[in-house]
Structure 1
Amino acid sequence: MRLTTAQALVRFLANQYSERDGVEQRLIPGCFGIFGHGNVAGVGQALLQAAETGEADLPYYLARNEQGMVHAAAAYAKTRDRLAAFACTASTGPGSTNMITGAALATTNRLPVLLLPSDMFATRGPDPVLQQLEDTRGGDVTVNDAFRPVSKYFDRVTRPEQLVPAALAAMRVLTDPAETGAVTLCLPQDVQAEAYDWPEEFFRRRVWSIGRPVPEPAALDRAVALLRTARKPLIVAGGGAVYSQATEQLRAFAEATGIPVADTHAGKGAVQWDHPCAVGGLGSTGTAAANALAAEADVVLGIGTRYSDFTTASHTVFGNPDVAFVNLNVARLDAVKHSAVPLIADARAGLEALSGKLGGWQVDEAYRTRTWLLAEDWKRTTDACFAGEQSTGRLPAQTEILGALNDLVDDRDVVINAAGSMPGDLQMLWRARDPKAYNVEYAYSCMGYEVAAGLGTKLAAPDREVFVLVGDGSYLMMAQEIVTMISERLKVIVVLVQNHGFASIGSLSESLGSQRFGTQYRYRGSEGRLDGGVLPVDLAANAASLGADVLTASTVDGFRSAVEKAKASTRTTVVHVETDLYGPNPPGSGWWDVPVSEVSELDSTRRAREDYAAAKRGQRHYL
């Protein structure tokens, strides 16, 4: 069959499927893209031809920002438990390199996305072309080489026939739960348009089965033996518990053993917030309940977690000098962290195996009672934060807005966030009852993820209400995909929280002795600093100009009313609300290692350095 390289790729992608537990679905259900020189006459022509002739089913979605479309693809994959992945095509040069941040986010979060950046001429006939980097070290270097460190698989297709092994390798990595992430196939613009006689076999329907690896028997015995010695065990539920759809098995295991369950951002909702064993988020922005139990834990069972520094409070949260770890994870990299007894297996299969081996073992009743009392005490703290009992400003505290929203969402509604002060508040306070109802991207914590992720999540779960929580800082960085929501007639509710600055970094700056320097949106003042009056930026008007319906609120009651109206609407709606930049914030019980200047002329910095040195003494390696 004679086709161009781009036409062959489109036809190939349309025939790829994933399968787990006997359920098949499209592996590549669509393609985001922005056309320019490099892909408009290659991949763009191929997608048009596929739509016009029906020779391949690969729907195209016009995005507004290349980084944003990769974020949307990552959110799509996350919502679909990594069983499906969008492709993203971009033009040569800046169009392609705009995707690099998205690639880093996807790989850091272990989320499959397929990136198709256009590249320079393989023939080098018209070199240097528009937007080409000329590198004196080598003629084969292009800007797309910057994708290599942030991709789990990278290839450059410089001849049409190279597409066959490259495309198959790409699908292998996209469907590998231990090795997945951004997969990059660079496509030189001349090769995209070059014709080749392709083998028919290349286009057959392929089903990529995603298995459930079981624990090696000896490793399972070692893990069970260690767990049986525990008197104060703790489970850390990460994203792997959700992606493997092991939430029922996790709840049953916790109920049978009585082991309390703390969660990471990616694992929130794996156990319902009001379950008797649930103690909430762990670590730097964790609950007092989870962190208190972690400080005493003698055995920690990590399930599908990568143990980021926020989860471990920069290696300070697990305080027992004799603490030991069992890590159930499909990825060996994570399974062996903290000198753990590794259980390299699927989370569901591993939990089923542990349940069978542990038999009737369970914690003492006194430990169950302590878990329940700590969780109940934190519930009262959360209620107080949601009620704004410590609020003193004329504007509502962010925690009050979150409390109102938590009351208004249904169990299956999805809340999305990524950066700023909200992730900390959400990990401490948000009450999730569904494993797909909480999408806070905190592996890369990328400002600008939120709105784009709302697009991808809604495409992946059209039957769920999607709430995007975004601060003014992230909104100003990337809100363009609101236009895509409008063009696709998708309904997303964007809660735009405006406090005229970077609340999270401002608070961190103050705690580290840097006095909130450069973190507020202000005119330049008389002393040359950005400390003048508030800027006359109207983000509500901006959202309306992008095509969204806009509702504004200045009180908690007004916010509740606006959200109810947004829920009743069928269109994308932005609810704009102003909050107090200075909080108050929920009471913290964890630490985060952010080095403070060792010498300084500022008293505030010297005091912060003393506090930092004291906290640093609690840091350790778990050996």
Structure 2
Amino acid sequence: MRVADVVAEILKREGVELIIGYPVNDVLEAAARADIRTVIVRQERVGIHMADAMSRVTSGQRIGVFAMQHGPGTENAFGAVAQAYADSVPVLLLPEGYPRPIMNLPPNFSALLNFREIAKWVEQVVLPSEVPNALRRAWTQLKNGRPRPVVIELPRDLVQEEFNGPVDYRPAPRVRVAPDPVAVDEVAAVLVAARRPVIYAGQGVHYAQAWEELRALAELLEAPVCTSLQGKSAFPEDHPLALGAGGRAYPATVSHFLREADVIFGIGCSFTKTNYGVRIPYEGKTIVHATLDAADLNKDVPVSHAILGDAKLTLAALYEAVSERLGGKPRGRLPEVAAEIQRVREAWLAQWMPKLTSDEVPLTPYRVIWELMRTLDVERTIITHDAGSPRDQLSPFWIAKRPLTYLGWGKSTQLGYGLGLAMGAKLARPDMLCVNVWGDAAIGMTGMDFETAVRERIPILSILFNNFSMAIEIPVMPVATEKYRATDISGDYAAFARAMGGYGERVTEPGQIVPAIQRALRAVEDGTPALLEFITGKELAISTP
């Protein structure tokens, strides 16, 4: 048995049924021999985005795996690994390294040396006998603690060598860390004493699958809940206590209740300061931070109380401690709190309804989003945005009702990320409609992999806003735009989708939005990826009340 076959055998024991990659990497062929489906992409970055989504939509229970060629393949992968690291996503990367005699000599690209700052764990294996040990460490890191990418570099000559003896490997365990009971008791007292508490939930709730515990605690405290962009859908946004998600753009309910809160309880979040997340107003407030990673504490937001531990175990323990103080039932605050949320939301929506229902031509992206939400079965849809305007236009208005039906991101904001996320989500959840919303700048970065969706039979729905420009950059590049048309871009993307073998349609009139969506859905149901290109105006308004 060759080393590449040992790697495939271990992947299979860890439950891997599908590996994404770009040749040449001997592990891909070994995986096929082991009956692990290989999905080949047009470029490494999108393939890693797909693996990323597979991990996200399964709460890390099914880890995405990507294998790439030594040298340029590993170099091309760098940006996608950095994105997964920034957004805390567990992905296993298996770069084939240069042959061992030259693997660390310049100018040869070394994954060991170059991925250290954007991965949780990096190893370079040089002995065949050490492959099971390296992969045991890798899977242990992937399944436990803060989720982030893991890189195991396997030199090209190593994977072609023979492996002596049986493969001694058992799947790595999953371990949850419980919170300190003293800290739980302290925080429970703070939450019960709060006059206007707000719960801020991050994607740690998704990875811990702590959705029911979050809802139970919120209902017991009668506390409004907002989420980070990554945590969106962790709490049902049609719930009376839901405020929505805080990205660069956000509903008025988010800013209103954060501003008026006396206690903000962050659970499963990092409280990272970013241009693409709502600011946490900590001045004059009590901040409680519950996280899995001690490195998050007091990093960006000063905290008054802290809990370290798994989000599910933390929320369950807090529920018990709060329930004991409240006699097992809420205090009757819900009608007043829910009425305030509804009042703020209705006033905010009234301000935006002219755009959400506009008949203007070119189309406004907000009208498209409004019709999309009214036409799709939201509870059976996984949707993601892209960087820039599509993110800011979609996230405040999309009402996510079930966990893991919205893939939000924004710690790093690479254009074109959404296509791979939708494709990976569809591979992991073939029962769901998977949608990416992007613009004409984003498709320029990763659009060729729409052909991968066609070839690999991954029927996604792609919603593209085409305003023939990089509109968000116009205000910061007025001279370059006027002199050299520097922000102008163009393309017929519906025709491109058809040329790749998919369904493509260009929409220019408001009355055609819903019929076009319905036609695209029929194509997707028949197994064909569909791209709808909406010709939109240069919309710059976003919701930042």
TM-score, length of structure 2 as denominator length: 0.91
1:140-162: per-residue Cα shift (whole Å, max 9, x none)?
97365221211111011122122
What is the CA distance between 1:515 and its match in structure 2? 4.9
Query: What is the aligned counterpart of 2:336 among 332, 350, 369?
Result: 369
What is the CA distance between 1:77 and its match in structure 2? 0.5
Query: What is the aligned counterpart of 1:295 among 226, 248, 259?
Result: 259
Query: What is the aligned counterpart of 1:341 among 288, 305, 329?
Result: 305
Conservation of the 8 A alpha-carbon contact between 1:173 and 1:183 = yes
What is the CA distance between 1:305 and its match in structure 2? 1.1
Q: 2:85 and 2:385 mapped to 1: Cα distance?
A: 18
SS at match of 2:497: helix
Say if 1:340 and 1:418 are closer, same or farther in 2 by CA, change over 3 A.
Answer: farther
Q: 1:293 and 1:336 mapped to 2: Cα distance?
A: 22
Say if 1:282 and 1:62 are closer, same or farther in 2 by CA, change over 3 A.
Answer: closer
Conservation of the 8 A alpha-carbon contact between 1:312 and 1:318 = no
What is the CA distance between 1:314 and its match in structure 2? 7.2
What is the CA distance between 1:244 and its match in structure 2? 1.6
What is the CA distance between 1:301 and its match in structure 2? 0.8
Q: 1:277 and 1:443 mapped to 2: Cα distance?
A: 26
Whether 1:540 and 2:540 are equivalent positions in the alignment is no
What is the CA distance between 1:493 and its match in structure 2? 0.7
Match in the other structure for 1:181: 148
1:163-221: per-residue Cα shift (whole Å, max 9, x none)?
13211110111101x2321111111111111113033423xxx3433233322111111
Which residue identity does 1:190 align to in structure 2?
D
Q: 1:505 and 1:371 mapped to 2: Cα distance?
A: 39
Conservation of the 8 A alpha-carbon contact between 1:284 and 1:313 = yes
Structure 2 gap ranges (5+): none
Match in the other structure for 2:52: 74
275-284 or 359-368: which moved more? 359-368
Say if 1:536 and 1:210 are closer, same or farther in 2 by CA, change over 3 A.
Answer: closer
Q: 1:536 and 1:266 mapped to 2: Cα distance?
A: 31
Match in the other structure for 2:161: 194
Match in the other structure for 1:450: 418
Conservation of the 8 A alpha-carbon contact between 2:87 and 2:412 = yes
Superposed counterparts of 1:198-597, under 5 Å = 198-202=165-169, 206-282=170-246, 284-310=248-274, 315=279, 317-318=280-281, 321-335=283-297, 337=299, 338-359=302-323, 361=326, 369-370=336-337, 372-382=339-349, 385=352, 387-388=354-355, 394-410=361-377, 411-506=379-474, 510=475, 514-516=476-478, 527-530=483-486, 537-569=491-523, 570=526, 571-583=528-540, 585-589=541-545
What is the CA distance between 1:423 and its match in structure 2? 1.4
Q: 1:313 and 1:6 mapped to 2: Cα distance?
A: 42
Which residue identity does 1:88 align to in structure 2?
F
Say if 1:331 and 1:368 are closer, same or farther in 2 by CA, change over 3 A.
Answer: farther
Conservation of the 8 A alpha-carbon contact between 2:200 and 2:267 = yes
Match in the other structure for 2:30: 46
Conservation of the 8 A alpha-carbon contact between 2:224 and 2:337 = no
What is the CA distance between 1:559 and its match in structure 2? 1.5
Conservation of the 8 A alpha-carbon contact between 1:105 and 1:444 = yes
SS at match of 2:115: helix
Say if 1:400 and 1:46 are closer, same or farther in 2 by CA, change over 3 A.
Answer: same
1:106-159: per-residue Cα shift (whole Å, max 9, x none)?
1222211111112111034xx9xxxx9725xxxx97365221211111011122
Query: Which of these two proteins has the greater Rg computed from alpha carbons?
Result: 1
Which residue identity does 2:380 align to in structure 1?
R
446-455 or 75-84: which moved more? 446-455
Match in the other structure for 2:17: 29
1:501-536: per-residue Cα shift (whole Å, max 9, x none)?
223344xxx3xxx35565x7xxxx7x44537xx655
Conservation of the 8 A alpha-carbon contact between 1:418 and 1:442 = no
Q: 2:373 and 2:257 mapped to 1: Cα distance?
A: 26
Q: 1:377 and 1:117 mapped to 2: Cα distance?
A: 51
Conservation of the 8 A alpha-carbon contact between 2:112 and 2:124 = no
Which residue identity does 1:183 align to in structure 2?
V
What is the CA distance between 1:385 and its match in structure 2? 2.9
What is the CA distance between 1:487 and its match in structure 2? 1.7
Say if 1:539 and 1:57 are closer, same or farther in 2 by CA, change over 3 A.
Answer: same
SS at match of 1:425: helix
Q: 2:385 and 2:543 mapped to 1: Cα distance?
A: 20
Q: Which runs of 4+ in 1 moved over 4 A?
A: 310-315, 362-368, 389-393, 515-518
Which residue identity does 2:70 align to in structure 1?
T
SS at match of 1:87: strand
Q: 2:129 and 2:252 mapped to 1: Cα distance?
A: 58
250-259 or 193-202: which moved more? 193-202
Superposed counterparts of 1:64-143, under 5 Å = 64-124=42-102, 134-135=106-107, 142=110
What is the CA distance between 1:428 and its match in structure 2? 1.7
Say if 1:7 and 1:500 are closer, same or farther in 2 by CA, change over 3 A.
Answer: same
Q: 2:355 and 2:396 mapped to 1: Cα distance?
A: 15
Which residue identity does 1:482 align to in structure 2?
F
Conservation of the 8 A alpha-carbon contact between 1:115 and 1:183 = yes
Match in the other structure for 1:620: none
Say if 1:133 and 1:451 are closer, same or farther in 2 by CA, change over 3 A.
Answer: farther
Over aligned residues, Cα RMSD in angstroms?
2.6
Structure 1 gap ranges (5+): 17-25, 51-55, 590-623
Give aligned-pair identity as a percent. Answer: 24
SS at match of 1:466: strand
Q: 1:172 and 1:188 mapped to 2: Cα distance?
A: 22
Which residue identity does 2:142 align to in structure 1?
L
Q: 2:297 and 2:84 mapped to 1: Cα distance?
A: 20
Say if 1:198 and 1:389 are closer, same or farther in 2 by CA, change over 3 A.
Answer: closer
Say if 1:283 and 1:472 are closer, same or farther in 2 by CA, change over 3 A.
Answer: closer
Match in the other structure for 1:606: none
1:301-357: per-residue Cα shift (whole Å, max 9, x none)?
111111132489675x416x3312222222222355523422222222211111111
Conservation of the 8 A alpha-carbon contact between 2:92 and 2:150 = yes
Say if 1:200 and 1:467 are closer, same or farther in 2 by CA, change over 3 A.
Answer: closer
Say if 1:395 and 1:133 are closer, same or farther in 2 by CA, change over 3 A.
Answer: farther
Say if 1:356 and 1:444 are closer, same or farther in 2 by CA, change over 3 A.
Answer: same
Conservation of the 8 A alpha-carbon contact between 1:29 and 1:86 = no
TM-score, length of structure 1 as denominator length: 0.80
Aligned length: 536
SS at match of 2:436: strand
